[in-house]
Amino acid sequence: MTLPAGVERHAFGSETALATRGDQVSDESTDGAWRRWDLYRSKLAAMLDAGMETGLVGGETVLYLGAAAGTTVSHVADFAGPTYAVEFAARPARDLLEVAASRPNIFPLLKDARKPETYAHVVEPVDVLVQDVATRGQARVARTNRQFLDEGGRLLLAVKARSEDVTRPPAEVFEESLAELRADYEVLSTERLEPFHEDHLAVVATPE
Amino acid sequence: MDDPEGWFAGLDSGDAAAGAERIRAGEASTPAAWPRMAVESGFAADTDEYYESLHEATLAATRAAVAEREGADDRQLVHAVRAMDDCRRQANELAERLAEWAGSRDPDAGTGIAYARELASRDPEDPVGREVVGLAADAVALEDRADRLGAFLERAAPEVAPNLSAMAGPVLAARLVSLAGGLESLAKKPSGTVQVLGAEDALFAHLQGDAPSPKHGAIFAHEYVRNTRPSERGSAARALAGKLSIAARVDHYSGDRRPELAAQLEERIERIRARDSG
């Protein structure tokens, strides 16, 4: 497996964990400039840890949908280039603002990922689309945001089964999401994210 | 067709406020190579300078948008739900007064807000009638104001407390926040307290030892409690209060959506209702 430049396995005390270099965010554990990237708090970290071929090399342009409080976004911005961070809810966006204030390559946007026209006048075409939105219709969100992905770019998607339908078995929900995704994307690999994220399927895909 | 325009089109790169406004309100049908276009159009000297302007403008835009959305905060819900209750109560009081007054002049006079509405639409025939009709119009206006406040709560409560509103309904969610004195206080209350919020009189009577403990307060308005048969209502109220207090905590501390809470509750209520009543 290849980690993008700027991401390393780093020793924190007796443990080795994924880490990126940058300003500390809240009370996370650090070692010098290295910030521990918690697999339980970040689906993207869990994907990298699982050895998925994300295509990330470092320095790329990123559109991140579902930025939440900016935990993962801050690590992405540590190793990537311009990072557009879209979040819909005001409360977590307040924390995202703090993370973005000290990182000149994060551009926070309080927008609805289901309405790309409301941020297409700001976001440029990107190399990587990261999506982690807890809403129904996650595959549809990935499809409507495909216009932002450069040819040969990567979609790194975490599908949360419970956001689609809490009553159905996750495997069924994932199949359905993948089927819809395939209308616009070629799915390169998938991986369940247990034990770090329950009932989540990670997907790496490229625009068709 | 026009080419899509970036947020910076026609702006001066020093004008962060105008940039922020464009970022908030603008739209484009498709993305484009904005950094390159910004340099070509003279908005920025190079892409570094463009990204610097973009950073500043997105921070300002998002800060303003967050502040505005949170302006629909829990304090506003508290005021709105109390104002709604005040309006409704006074409208009903006036409607009662009207029924009495109008009844003294017309043996066929009706009662309630519906009758006040009917009265308000009449042409007064004498000076007393003018007063009666005028008072009826005031009662109706208060009732209409209460309806508008209710509609406002339907929009505002889900912004402030999405999970609580999804499970309790926006109006009951706002009422619970109001009874607790704010979303944070509600989030900090044990679910047994949430269960009897709004039943304080009955609770104190019970604590003084001469009444049974109340099984529900404001949450009685919820279909899960009201439409469960009386022998199981205590269980239903306890289950509902438990999930509502979790929802309030999620809303206050994380802001995540947790649709699974509603599903778990529904299942639990079904089981309670299916219990053998014998």
How confident is the model at residue B208, as a pLDDT?
A: 85
User: Can you read off the two tokens belonging to residue A30?
Assistant: 């650090």
Closest alpha carbon to A208 in A187, A180, A179 = A187
Q: What is the mean pLDDT of residues A106-130?
A: 97
Chain A interface mutation, best of B41, B257, B267, B270, highest count of A Cβ atoms under 10 Å: B257
User: Can you read off the two tokens belonging to residue B225?
Assistant: 């409690």
Closest alpha carbon to A67 in A29, A36, A30, A109 = A109
User: What is the Cα–Cα distance from A191 to B260, expressed in whole angstroms?
Assistant: 23
Give me the domains of chain A, ranges plus CATH numbers: 38-207 (3.40.50.150)
- pLDDT exceeds 60 at position B124: yes
- pLDDT exceeds 70 at position A19: yes
**Chain A neighbors of B26, CB-CB under 8 A:** 121-122
Q: What is the DSSP string of B142-179?
A: HHHHHHHHHHHHHHHHHHH-HHHHHHH-HHHHHHHHHH
Determine the residue type at A146: R
How confident is the model at residue A139, as a pLDDT?
A: 96
How confident is the model at residue B252, as a pLDDT?
A: 85
CB-based contact A147 B31, cutoff 8 Å = yes
**Chain B neighbors of A122, CB-CB under 8 A:** 6-7, 23, 26, 34, 54, 58
Question: CA quadruple A182, A185, A191, A193: dihedral positive or negative?
Answer: negative
Residue B1 pLDDT grade (very low, low, confident, very high; cuts 50, 70, 90): very low
- pLDDT exceeds 70 at position B2: no
Cis peptide before A195 (omega within 30 of 0): yes
- pLDDT exceeds 80 at position B37: yes
- What counts of helices (H) and strands (E) characterise chain B? 14, 0
Q: What is the mean pLDDT of residues A6-23?
A: 92
Q: Which residue has the tokens 């509600």?
A: B186
Q: What is the mean pLDDT of residues A82-108?
A: 94
pLDDT, tens digit, 9 for 90 and up, residues A33-71: 899 999 999 999 999 999 999 999 999 999 999 999 999
3-class SS letters over B194-251: HHHCCCHHHHHHHHCCCCCCCCCCHHHHCHHHHCCCHHHHHHHHHHHHHHHHHHHHHH
CB-based contact B27 A163, cutoff 8 Å = no
pLDDT, tens digit, 9 for 90 and up, residues B67-118: 777 765 888 899 999 999 999 999 999 999 999 999 999 888 889 999 999 9
- pLDDT exceeds 60 at position A29: yes
How confident is the model at residue A24, as a pLDDT?
A: 87
Average pLDDT over chain B, rounded to an integer: 91
Determine the residue type at A140: R
Residue B119 pLDDT grade (very low, low, confident, very high; cuts 50, 70, 90): very high
**Chain A neighbors of B50, CB-CB under 8 A:** none
**Chain A contact present for B114, CB below 8 A:** no
